[in-house]
Structure 1
Amino acid sequence: MTKHAAGTFTLDAFDAGEPYDVHQETKIARVHVEKTFSGDLTGTSTAELITVATGETPRAYVAIERFEGTLDGRRGGFVLQHNAGGENGEPWLSWKITEGTGTGDLAGITGEGRIVIGPDGGHSYTLDYTIA
């Protein structure tokens, strides 16, 4: 049975390296991120991003993120694969649990969800998941 999780997270660290690829206004860089989750997911994570920006505006990123904490009363962790971009000026951010990465009480977890950045810059998430 698929379950639904929702909540918010804060960015505790956002350490962007200097772009390693620059072509005219397009810059590609690595970023290390640390987060704290609230809501149905409670815990912390670290992520490594590869970002694309034009000028000062972020345009897309891919990332791998390791979450550790609790979900639905179950303690453990898993890895999320991110994919983000934009279309007609509107950003979209999706993530998927990487198969086989669940640990502890979250072993066997699968699922996918979305990240939303609000007008105030706050971050919220949804995650639809199952645990085998």
Structure 2
Amino acid sequence: MTEVLLAIALFFIPAQAKESPVVHHAQGTFTVDVKPLTPAPAEGLARFSINKQIHGDLEATTQGEMLTGGDPKQGMAGYVAIEQVTGTLAGRQGSFALQHMATMDANGPQMTVIVVPGSGTDELKGIAGKFLIKIENGKHLYELDYTLPE
């Protein structure tokens, strides 16, 4: 009977809420070098290398590859990309991967760039987040909202 009462009591004790991880914010600028890669995988598709120099709260270089399709001259296209980011973020050194997915059509552009789960290394192990890219007056800007284990 004691076990039953204990089980019932445990059922009604409120569970400890997990604390939400602290979301950090980094921002800055970057330059990008995009070069065509051959051969293209199929008609209407193109491959590119993408390499960035990132400055600001994240000081890093990237190496990656992009696959595009559609007709950008007509304003309808899309791309996917993945790139490895290596550098220092808020004093922590390491690397992580970014995954891109973007489209443009009559409704305008849409882009999502996320930190690939499980890709963090060294002091950036466990990183998660979203990377926002903006272009203002011809200048590439980024904002990175991320969490890291403490």
What secondary structure sits across from 1:99 in the alignment? coil
What secondary structure sits across from 2:100 in the alignment? strand
**2: CA distance, partners of 1:117 / 1:77:** 24
Give 2:117's aligned residue.
Answer: 99
Deviates more, 1:84-93 or 1:37-46: 84-93
Q: Deviations over 1:11-30 (max 9, x none)?
A: 1x3111354322xxxx2111
Alignment of 1:58-77 (within 5 A): 59-77=77-95
Q: How many residues align?
A: 126
Report the CA distance between 1:87 and its aligned residue: 4.2
1:93·1:116 contact (CA, 8 Å) conserved in 2?
no
* Runs of 5+ consecutive residues of structure 1 not aligned to the other structure: none
**2: CA distance, partners of 1:69 / 1:35:** 12
Q: TM-score, normalised by structure 1?
A: 0.85
* Runs of 5+ consecutive residues of structure 2 not aligned to the other structure: 1-21
Query: Residue 132 of structure 2 aligns to which amino acid in structure 1?
Result: R
- Which has the higher Rg, Structure 1 or Structure 2? 2
Deviates more, 1:103-112 or 1:51-60: 51-60
Question: Which structure dedicates a bigger proportion of its chain to helix?
Answer: 2
CA RMSD, 1 decimal: 1.8
Report the CA distance between 1:125 and its aligned residue: 1.2
Give 1:125's aligned residue.
Answer: 142
Q: TM-score, normalised by structure 2?
A: 0.76
Alignment CA distance shift 1:100-1:17 (3 Å): same
**2: CA distance, partners of 1:6 / 1:103:** 21
Q: Deviations over 1:25-66 (max 9, x none)?
A: xx2111111110011111100011101241646721101110
1:17 and 2:17 are equivalent in the alignment: no
2:101·2:112 contact (CA, 8 Å) conserved in 1?
yes
Larger RCO, structure (CA 8 Å, separation 6 or more) = 1
**2: CA distance, partners of 1:85 / 1:55:** 10
